[in-house]
Structure 1
Amino acid sequence: MASPSSLLSQEQIQCICLDIFTSPISTPCGHNFCMACIGGYWDSSDVCQCPLCKETFYRRPDLCINRTLKEISEQFKTRLSLFEEQYAQPGQVPCDICTGSKLRAVKSCLVCLASYCQTHLEPHQRVGTMKTHKLIEPVSNLEDRLCKKHQRVLELFCREDQTFVCVLCNETDHRTHNTVPAERECTEMKVSFL
């Protein structure tokens, strides 16, 4: 998705309050402001003048909302919001494949041990061998889901030791223990805590 600023910069539709115009008006000198900002500026001054070019108006101009600029500002806010939603924010898992600004991951793969944005996830939905990979909700600590001893995914839960184990651990150290699929145990634990 192209940046909304590739067509129009935020500075072009930004008021002196440093926010995108809200109820924008145009003064007789051609400058634009939020209606509340210019009203507040003129209310606090004895002289009615433009804050940018300092042109003085001998009587306070009647102000009407600039409908075209209002539509442009609203569209820009919407596009900016959608654009920012796609990028990983603090606390969200970033895509491991993206370079530069990282998009927000939508899935993590337990086989590839990587997290993917919607674009980079596409091969997992199209390529036959990748369709069988285990995809989960995005997590930032994929390495914590690996067995330290065997470097395999922790897909089982040992109820006796109350720990997650890999298939090889299950066949050796935990072979006589009661183990269940990790997903099932997590589901049961969540249900029992409700």
Structure 2
Amino acid sequence: MKLYTVPLAPNPTRVTLYLAERRAQGVDIPVEPVVVNTLKGRHREPEHLARNSFGTLPVLELESGAYVTESLSIIDYFEAAFPAACLLPSDPELLAYARNIERTLEMRVTHDLAAWVHATKSPLGYEANAEHAAALVARMQPGFDYAETLLADGRAFLTGSDPSIADCTLAAFFQFMRYTGVDLIAEREKLCRWDTGYRSRPEVEDCFLM
């Protein structure tokens, strides 16, 4: 298998973190990373568009020649294809709990956080828009509140005592935030504790560029 990816971008980083977490559990998923240089526009060239007509990353190329083009779908594939020591729990209630946290953070924080980065200091060169950025910051506050409530019991990870896909998701997008040089969670003690603790772990620290 090949994983077409790009450093720093949040959705590829989410998958990179997931793979690191599985390795830490003793499951080394056999996938070859292939960097696509988005700064040079390689994601818009015919070779990559043949893999994913939207030109986005990451893309997983399976042994069959099929392509999986969404980060969570890639993670779902790995969870099903390599079922030992998965990040998702098998118990239905715990599974729903973990899924609910990840999806809530995706919908309430990370979608807007990615848009905020591009409105503030876009790595793709989009024009800055301070008014739009301010509106996005305001819209993210309930999602930050939600995460802080989860972490109020002192848990190390977003879903409890073990790393989860939710951790991979939020940590990847917080790195994207740091690219701008602006820290939107500086005044949020619990989120800062979680963020620093998560990315300083030896299992994943090499996945981060900043």
Structure with the higher helix share, 1 or 2: 2
Higher relative contact order (CA closer than 8 Å, sequence separation 6+) = 2
Q: After TM superposition, is the score higher than 0.5?
A: no
Larger Rg: 1
- TM-score, normalisation: structure 2: 0.21
Q: Normalising to structure 1: TM-score of the pair?
A: 0.22
